Amino acid sequence: VVPGVTLRLVQPNISQTDKWSGDKRIENFNKQLAMSAAPGIDRISAVIWSETAVPFTLSWEPEAQKALGAILPPGALALVGATRATPYGTEPLQAWNSIYAVDRAGTVLATYDKAHLVPFGEYVPLRELLAPLGIEKITAGSVDFSPGPGPRTIDLPGLPPVSPQICYEAIFPGAVLDPSAPRPGWMLNVTNDGWYGQTSGPHQHFAIARTRAVEEGLPLVRAANTGISGVVDGYGRVTGEIALGQAGILDAALPAALPETPYARWGDAGFWLLLALGLLFGWIGRPARRTLRPPAAGLP
């Protein structure tokens, strides 16, 4: 494990119906603050909330940023999912699905913006053609999210460098790390699987995210609204978990990164090489073709 680093994952288990309800947003925010400040907070290095766990645009709410900072012990951070937007009233308005890193003073130290957006959930493709037909997003809000620049490695005080992913960004092999940056010490995946309820979807999503940990040899920390939240080491072993459909917190050590794996170094090149070798050996080992000759004259 990484010495001196303990993470607190917060899974509030807020239903999708209540998550964006106007009269419950402050209640939902305060619920997660209270869960985060539970006994033991004094030894926590970072409190982690799920995707869009803050049910309003955090960049417009400095008081909410201060409220997040107020629950933290000295030196700790809050890593929370929330929308981010250009200053209120600016035109054109842009918004992002983001992760914020907030310190004890309520200062935003860094943000990460989701790059792989969900069509019709986070934006309407070909909006100029489809909007006149009445086709809009199936989620709350009329503004399309803007995509972020892609994988990043973020340096944060008191923590190893981290590569964040939001929701299904964790399902893309070879696309979870910034190839131009030094290798991070861990990956952070925040998600809201509340859309899927008690189905196989959250289990499949968690299993696919675990695969990224094995491929990269890096621990994966996953915070989900309704589950499954957990910590996975570089071998794919789950070292701590909050089950689907349960509210709770998980205090967990951060597993240490493994040495760089062959996949992390060469990506899909190994697959294509094995495929080419298989085809080559299959061709070399094919049975020799026999030529049938006509029977000799006079033989029946």
Q: What amino acid positions are annotated as catalytic residues?
A: 51, 114, 167
Residues in the chain: 300
Phi, psi of 270, deg, nearest 5: -65, -40
* Neighbouring-strand partners of residue 251: 8
* CA 185, chain centre distance (Å): 15
Coil vs helix vs strand at 113: strand
* 148-175 CB burial, b ≥16 within 10 A, e <16: beebbbbebeebbbbbbbbbbbbbeeeb
- Parallel, antiparallel, or unpaired: how do β-strands 220-224 and 186-191 relate? parallel
Distance from chain centroid for Cα 150: 12
Residues 6+ apart with CB under 8 A from 80: 47, 48, 49, 53, 54, 58, 68, 99, 100, 102
